Amino acid sequence: MRMLSLLRHAKSDWGENVRRDFDRPLNARGRAASERMAKFFAANEFDPDLVLVSPARRTMETLDIISRTCPWARAAVPDDALYMITLDELLGKVRDLPNMHDHVLIVGHNPGLEQLAAEIAAPNSISHDDAAMARLRSRFATGALAEFDCHIDKWKDMAPRTASLRRFTKPKDLRSGRG
């Protein structure tokens, strides 16, 4: 079995000097949320063996804050294709992952991450968390993490309804003690 984790960048801001979406930095709330997620990762021994990240400023800043606590984040591979990626392109990227990696984290944006999560989720599987899926479908919030158990042997076999949502964690859950 493989594991796919999807992390949406933390809350960003349109500052006075920001002209392009790609250049939006994290705001104070986003920086605080990234720090909470870093603590969550460390406490839960979260350790992907491949991290792909969109090169947009807000995704890189999210991962930079996480890397202060989690060494695996320092080895992230920026991937230009992850910025403004469509569902079909993102599913294709997952199918092209090298099989030497069992747990892959993709750090990116909506709507692609939310669409991929909904596409691969198999709601009737034993390990699927229905409550977590309902929360994810209501809103894949900024800074949130979706973790999937993928019922495939090779990444090329990733298809709709081949994964079970193991856990969905929002930064605000960690503030209120739910995560």
Mean pLDDT, rounded, of the chain? 92
How many CA atoms does the CB half-sphere of 3 hold within 13 Å?
16
Q: Write out pLDDT tens, residues 133-175.
A: 788 888 899 999 999 999 999 999 999 999 999 999 999 989 7
| Whole-Å CA distances, 45 to 40, 89, 104, 129 | 9, 30, 14, 20
How many CA atoms does the CB half-sphere of 109 hold within 13 Å?
19
The pTM of the full predicted model, rounded to 2 decimals, is 0.94
Q: Write out pLDDT tens, residues 99-122.
A: 999 999 999 999 999 999 999 987
Q: How far apart are CA 108 and CA 53, in angstroms?
A: 6
SS3 for 170? coil
pLDDT above 70: residue 124: no
pLDDT above 70: residue 23: yes
Q: Write out pLDDT tens, residues 58-72.
A: 999 999 999 999 999
pLDDT above 80: residue 31: yes
Q: How far apart are CA 1 and CA 33, in angstroms?
A: 30
pLDDT above 60: residue 179: no
